[in-house]
Structure 1
Amino acid sequence: MKRKRIRILSIVLLLALLALSGRLMQLQLFLTESYSSHKINLLEESVAQRTQALVIDEGRGEFLDRNGEPLTFTEKNVLVLFPFLKQMEWPVEKVAAVLHVPPGTIQTKVEQAKGPMIFGGKEPFSLSEEQMKEINTLKIQGVFALTKKFKSDVVPASQMIGVTGENTDEFHKRYPDKVKGATQKIGVSGLQRSFDEWLVAEEEAKLIYHVDARGGPLFGVDVKYLAPANPFYPLNVKTTIDEKMQLALEEVADTYHIQQGGMLLLDIEKSEILASVSRPAMKNRDPFSGGATNYMLKALIPGSVFKTVVAAAALDEGIVDERRLFPCDEDIRGGPAEKPHGNINIKTSIAVSCNRTFADLAKELTEKDDHILDEYAVKMGLIGDVAWKGNVFHYESFPQLQVSEGRIFSSDGDRGESKLVSQTGIGQQEVRVTPLGIANMMATIARGGEKFQVSAVSEVQYQNGTTMFSFPKQKIEGETITPFTAMKLQQYLRGVVNSPEGTAPYLQTAAYTIAGKTGTAQTGKYRGEEVKANELYNKWFAGYFPFENPKYALVAVNMDVTIGEGGIYPIFKDSVDAVYRLDHQ
């Protein structure tokens, strides 16, 4: 009996040892780089426990402006010091002499260091190329002068660029074959999200050394530099943003204290975004607290800017010419107009933004075809596939930008309702379009009716600057407005600014000649008590310039402001003037 118990106990112990041995083999031989459902790299984690490291570059690809200058990071020449210096004699005086600082300043920083440090901390001491060379010539172990990447505190066009974050589950959902590193990040919004697969890091570049339990050097003072083996990666994304114009327009937005809204500037010839400003601004440490939304890609109520589409449809379909007059002493219901203008034609109606004209035309057009306004919005590049979309490697219809879908009617039932159609004709009711679409519509008119998809990225580059993939200029397929209609709209939109009765004479003093359209959209919202003085509007101006030789299309919107605040004309004019100054530097 006693022997039987011993045998059983021996078998149990043997099985336990076998199970433990199997588990150890599993951890140390088979799952070393992809442990558990989180695919943890055990080799990296074990090394991390006995090393101290300073990351020089986290390895994720970056964003560049149209000239190849970095948007999301800066590079600085810095001095790196390792804490084991406090345990040895080293020529601190020679390093201090190169930096022109007291030796005691450097020595104090080393004594306080718990890990590898950059001299100067949050405001690193910037070295010249000559100082870097002198320090590295000294060949002091634990003292390095190198170029390090620093994340920009403020990223131009931050909502368009987007943000990154750490999310293990989402990482493995997107990239089931990849092993997540300790600091691996993924794109959460904007271009960071769209181009994540090209940008995701393979390996960090870092300085490391091994330490014992007390933080002392384990194998002497041998510091190693680890970097990705492939010199072509990570990839960088070259955007179409002009950093100088972007910063200039951001300054305008902040000067006029835009709380919600922004500006979007397009290069008409290339159909590229030069600047995209959205407010409220994104907070670097808490991007989703209210500043992450890119209102330039959101569908908003356009108000009278939409009258441009109604005019185009009416001209193209032959139901209006300049001989026809409209009773602009009346509002859209036949009552007295708030601002009477008498009997006027289509040209003057656009200049003064007469509601009655476009309510009547909208009803006539929808009686002819209840989808005709939708069709012309597409013909003008206002709604539909406005942003660049195409085949890229294994992606079909890869979208550069995530743009809200615009609409003219919310349901087919509204198309037959006369009162709703009247409101639709003046850009109210359920009309929702994006600032991007509006800017593209203005570019389409300026080009004589040709419509193109708008690009935010021109190419994906290898780390050495050569092109991996370029995004060609792409036409928007389908019908367009006629050249004659485009020519007439050009004249009419110019009249908004330069005719005696136009709504935007303020813009006559701008540095470039402007053609465009005003919009004051009722939002149905109020600030506090529901009285007229507290009603909130979206104030718009959209246009192109210079009128004689169009180069730029620009849209500006100031959202949720009362009728007596948030004037849009100074915002638009100062933006145009800023572009002019940059063009003439």
Structure 2
Amino acid sequence: MVQKRIIRIGIGIIVGIAIMIFRLIQIQLYDTKSFSHRNIDLIAESVKQRSQQVVIDNGRGKFYDRNMVPLTHEAIPTLVLFPFLNHMEWDVEELAKIINVPSSDILHSLEDAEGPVMFGEPNPIVLTQEQMNAINQLEIPGVFAVEKHFDRKITPAAQLIGVLGENPEELKKRYPDKDIPVSTMIGISGLQKSFDEFLLQEESTKLIYHVDGRGAPLFGIDVKYVTQSNPFYPVKIQTTIDYDIQTKAEELVDKHNIKIGGLILLDIETNSILASVSRPAIDITDPYANNGIKNMMHTAHIPGSVFKTVIAAASIDHQLISPERMFNCSVTIHGEVDQQYDHGMLNFKDSFAASCNNTFATLAMELTEKDETIIETYAQLLGLNEINGWQGDIYHFEDFKQLSDEEKGYVYLDDVERKDSKLNAQTGIGQQSVRITPLAATNMMATIARGGEKKMVRAVESIQYNNGTDLYTFPIKKLEGDHISSYTASKLQQLLREVVTNERGTGKSLNNLPYTVAGKSGTAETHRKDENGNELLNRWFVGYFPYEKPKYAMTVVNLDVTEGEGWATPLYKDMVKFLYEMDQ
């Protein structure tokens, strides 16, 4: 009996030891980088416990504007002090002289420090190059002048650039064959997501020293400078954004109190985004709050009268208009007396300038009687119901898209709408099911300004190695498919200019600006109401300038505003003035 009990106890001990040995093998050999359900990197955590460090650069690729001004970070030359200075004699007076502060301030910053400190935190001191050189020439252990990369508190063009986050499941899904720490930040939206594989965090650059359990130096007071083993990384993404224009655009959007909507500006020659502002703004602590992560410039909205440009192009080509033809612009699209507008009988040119609904409802019905797909065809010719952002094959990426979150516009939801003349009347004035993005609307204006030539929109100009040489340059590319003729484009140019110069024009407040503007306004009914029962509207102005020698195409859109407020033209006017002054 006793013998059996001893055997059972012995077996239990052996099993227990075997379990412990298996667990040790699991920890030491197999799960060192993804231990437990939380995927803890045991090696990294062990190093953290035995070291104190200052990360100078996290190792992820960075975004820059077209002139290589940093967009996602600021490189600040600052002073780093290590806490072991508290336990040694060093020339604090000489350091104080270089940075022009009392030595007591320096010593005070080290009191009770458990790790390295940046002098002056939370607003670290900014050093000159001369100060940096002088500090490092002192060769005091634990005293370093370094250029540290700080994330910007507010990223310009935040929705276009996108946000980062930790997502171990998505990380594994995207990169199943890569051995990457589960804590690696990845792009969740915008260009951060599109270019994630190029930007993936490599080895960080840091100052590091090892400590014992009490925080004392383990191997003396030598501080190591650890940097990338590959001099070509991290890469730099050179966007097409202009930092100065972007900053002003954001300032003006907020000045004009745009809560939902924004502004997008293209360089017509290169078809590149110079500025992109989307509201609501992102709350970096909760990017999904209030839809802040969503880029409203890449989202399809009801365009209203902006869409009349499509009907105008089709009507020109199919000879539905002549100088003599008149339209009754004192009635609604249903033939009832218009209680809001009483323009009387107008020709086509004046109808476009005044944005007469009855004219374009009539033309839309006549066009679809000829061909029920004709409106969709002309929307396609002007790029409104296709992807406008740059796409193509680069390296092993097939059909790489710069703007991965761009929505495609559309005209109809089903065949019933195509065949119904009354619904087509609504379609002709940019209502019913019509949806377009501000990006596509801006590109339509650029296309017309160029005489009908469609191009893809670029947000990124190049990917550069860390040493400044090009890894890949994104060429200017044409949008595939047919486009409007140069004749049709020239006629549309004249009509768009009439919107601003005609006494009936809906954009006449933009006349007499230093840059001559051509464009089209739009006020769309959303068939939704606010909490007070007021109808919500989308207000647009899309256009290009200067008219004689087009340089910029721009869209301003103010969404979910009520009657009598939220006009797009005041912001448009201020941006045109700013760009003119900047160009001088």
**Same fold at TM > 0.5:** yes
Q: CA distance change for structure 1 residues 424 and 182 in 2, over 3 Å: closer, same or farther?
A: closer
Contact between 2:168 and 2:183, CA under 8 Å: does it hold in 1? no
Aligned residue in 2 for 1:362: 364
2:391 to 381, 389, 392: 389
Q: For the aligned residues, what is the CA RMSD?
A: 1.7
1:477 to partner: Cα distance: 1.2
Would you say the 8 A contact 1:542–1:554 is kept in 2? yes
> How many angstroms apart in 1 are the aligned matches of 2:63 and 2:382?
31
Among residues 446, 451, 465, which one is paired with 1:462 in the alignment? 465
In the alignment, the residues of structure 2 paired with residue 478 and residue 224 of structure 1 have an alpha-carbon distance, to the nearest angstrom, of 58
Mapped to 1, the partners of 2:285 and 2:43 lie a distance apart of 31
Q: Deviation digits for residues 269-310 of structure 1, max 9, x if unmatched? A: 111111001112222333222222211111111110100000
TM-score by length of 2: 0.96
User: Letter of the aligned partner of 2:371 in structure 1?
Assistant: D
CA contact (8 A) 1:238 1:459 kept: yes
2: CA distance, partners of 1:25 / 1:281: 49
Percentage identity across aligned positions?
51
The CA distance in 2 between the partners of 1:10 and 1:283, in whole Å, is: 61
Judge conservation of contact 1:41–1:180 (CA < 8 Å) in 2. no
Cα displacement string for residues 507-545 of structure 1 (whole angstroms, at most 9, x for unaligned residues): 113220000011111111223343xxx322111111000
Indicate the residue corresponding to 2:230 in structure 1.
Answer: 230
Distance 2:322 2:483 in 1: 19
Retained in 1: the 8 A contact 2:186–2:193? yes
Q: Deviations over 1:22-46 (max 9, x none)?
A: 4323432444345457654322221
Deviation at 1:398, TM superposition (A): 1.3
SS of residue in 1 equivalent to 2:387: coil
Q: Which amino acid aligns with 2:311?
A: V
Residues in 2 aligned to 1:308 and 1:205: alpha-carbon distance in whole angstroms = 53
Q: Deviations over 1:306-333 (max 9, x none)?
A: 0000000111222223332222222211
> Is 1:306 matched with 2:319?
no
Q: Distance in 1 between matches of 2:400 and 2:95?
A: 52
CA contact (8 A) 2:384 2:410 kept: no
Question: How many angstroms apart in 2 are the aligned matches of 1:430 and 1:270?
Answer: 32
CA contact (8 A) 2:353 2:504 kept: yes
Once structures 1 and 2 are overlaid, which stretch shifts more, 73-82 or 163-172? 163-172
Q: Return the offset for 1:344.
A: 2.1
Q: What is the match of residue 118 of structure 1?
A: 118
2:429 aligned with 1:426? yes
Determine which of 400, 417, 421 is the counterpart of 2:420: 417
Q: Secondary structure at the match of 2:101?
A: coil
One of 321, 338, 350 as aligned partner of 1:348: 350
In the TM superposition, 1:485-524 aligns within 5 A as 485-524=488-527
Q: Tell me which amino acid in the other structure corresponds to 2:466.
A: Q
Contact 1:316 1:481 in 2 (8 A): no
For 2:298, the aligned partner's letter is L
Q: Which residue of 2 aligns with 1:329?
A: 330
Structure 1, unaligned stretches of length 5 or more?
A: none
Shift of 1:385: 2.1
Q: Measure, in 1, the Cα distance between the counterparts of 2:477 and 2:188.
A: 27
Question: Aligned letter for 2:205?
Answer: A
Say how many residue pairs are matched.
581
Distance (whole Å) between structure 1 residues aligned to residue 319 and residue 392 of structure 2 = 35
Residue aligning to 1:127: 127
Superposed counterparts of 1:174-573, under 5 Å: 174-181=174-181, 183-290=183-290, 291-337=292-338, 338-401=340-403, 402-530=405-533, 534-573=534-573
On the 8 A contact 2:302/2:526 being kept in 1, the answer is yes
In 2, are the aligned partners of 1:332 and 1:422 still within 8 Å (CA)?
A: yes
Counterpart-to-counterpart distance in 1, 2:19 and 2:96: 59
SS of alignment partner, residue 55 of structure 2: strand
Is the alpha carbon distance of 1:209 and 1:574 closer, same or farther for their aligned partners in structure 2, counting shifts above 3 Å? same
Change (3 A) 1:70 1:468: same
Q: TM-score, normalised by structure 1?
A: 0.96
Counterpart residue type for residue 346 of structure 2: I
Q: How does 1:28-39 map to 2 (within 5 A)?
A: 28-35=28-35
Q: Once the two structures are superposed, what CA deviation does each residue of 1:215-243 show, in whole Å capped at 9, x if it has no partner?
A: 22222222112122001111121111011
Superposed CA offset, 1:243-263 (max 9, x none): 111111111111111111111
Change (3 A) 1:6 1:275: same
Give the secondary structure class of the aligned counterpart of 1:44. Answer: helix
